Amino acid sequence: MSEQVRQFTVSADDDGVRLDRWFKRNLPQVGFATVSRWARTGQIRVDGKRAAPEDRLVAGQVLRVPPGGEARPGGKTPRPRRELSEEEVAEAEAMVLEQDRAAIVLNKPPGLATQGGSGTKHHVDGLLDAFCGPDDPRPRLVHRLDKDTSGVLLIARTPGSAAFFSKRFSGRSARKIYWALVVGVPEIADGMIELPLAKQPGTGGEKMHVDEQGGQPARTRYRVIERAGNRAAWVELHPLTGRTHQLRVHMAAIGHPIVGDGKYGGQDAFLTGSISRKMHLHARRLIIDHPDGDRIDVTAPLPEHFASTMEQMGFDESLGDVEIAPPPPPSREDKKRAAKAHAKDFRKERRGERRKRGATAAGTGKPRSGKPGGRKPTSTKPGSTKPGSPKGKR
């Protein structure tokens, strides 16, 4: 436990963040109740002046933090970071496409989960300690790829860059381009699929399905790049929303499942001959704003099984990468979706703070705060492609 007064200079990543949020990012071992007490008694100072938990910080300000505060309720100590083996460090470093102070861009191989879960011990999130020193903030995930999907995966190096990138993903300004091989050839070569998605009952949330009544709006733009007769097609996919398994469900719903995706295509998703049974879905390219004002634009090479199938079918990989026009200004609907996503994140943050305040107030007889409610969007756009139809909406 620190026994001396500490001073921190607010970084550019933390410009505009609330004081209590700064502690959650930079000194997570100091609880909200302690921060509130320190602020109330004047022990926290910003540029020499008293500060409240809700005050916004500015880059360059000097924050004075009193000693102590590391002890957690019940005497619990923060969980130490797991020591990685040399093989794990090498595995993590082999995935790197590029990195800088704000981001690490990986090329995730197929078969490696992004995050842990029931029975999943080996995953990308478990390898992120390879990219930080003992005193550095731990890099964090800001989006996901399915276990069997390969390609570009963005990791944020700092809490500030994580917040920045998360807003770009939730606001739909990040552009994600996928390549896929699908069974058969869509009749419309360049189309839009608009089919609402929901968790399929009875699957424990492991599988999604098209739900015209209660599903969340989901939109996918697709373009056929090349075809191998009527057997298969190489397509470019742009998810305009970010629903779970969206690309896989949408392509299966129009009658052209992704090659190797038995979960949604059944036996029809597997081609005969020497074509790999692995899933042929690859996050080829990511274009997203950078906190420094530049833009990240990264392309991931194909995994071995995908490249081999491309060669067997005679597809010319150079035909796939085309110049991407800058995204159009956000529509009114896009702005509404971004506002809803921001409000949802804000409510989550406020609920966490209220729980902490409620726990603190429990011993003083003060009532706990209630939970704010939220509404699920129920409307869907008319004119959607129907499941089973071979056509996408133009």
> Whose CA is closest to 281, among 153, 148, 108, 186?
148
Residue type, 356: K
Separation of alpha carbons 20 and 30, rounded Å: 10
Strand partners, 283: 151, 178
Residue partners of 120: CB distance under 8 A and separation at least 6? 113
Phi, psi of 281 (to 5 degrees): -135, 125
Residues contacting 107, CB < 8 A, separation 6+ = 95, 96, 97, 150, 151, 152, 153, 300, 301
CA 279 – CA 271 distance, rounded (Å): 11
186-223 exposure pattern, b = at least 16 Cβ within 10 A, e = fewer? beeeebbbbbbbbbeeeeeeebbbbbeeebbbbbbbbb
The Cα angle at residue 324 between residues 318 and 327, in degrees rounded to 5: 160
Instruction: Tell me 113's DSSP state.
Output: B
Q: Is 146 in the active site? A: yes
Q: Taking the mean position of all CA atoms in its chain, how far away is CA 350? A: 21
- Measured CA to CA in angstroms, residue 225 lies from 188, 220, 278, 283, 313 at distances of 12, 16, 21, 16, 13
CA-angle at 281, arms to 277 and 287, nearest 5°: 160
Q: Kindly list the distances between the CA atom of residue 26 and the CA atoms of 29, 141, 146, in Å, as whole numbers in the listed order.
A: 9, 17, 30
The catalytically annotated residue of 13, 146, 148, 211 is 146
Q: What is the DSSP string of 164-231?
A: HHHHHHHTT-SEEEEEEEEES--SSSEEEEE--EEEPTTTTTS-EEE-TTTPBP-EEEEEEEEEETTT
Report the run of H or E that residue 42 belongs to, with start and end: none
How many beta carbons lie within 10 A of that of residue 390, not counting itself? Answer: 13
3-state secondary structure of 364: helix
Annotated catalytic residues are 146
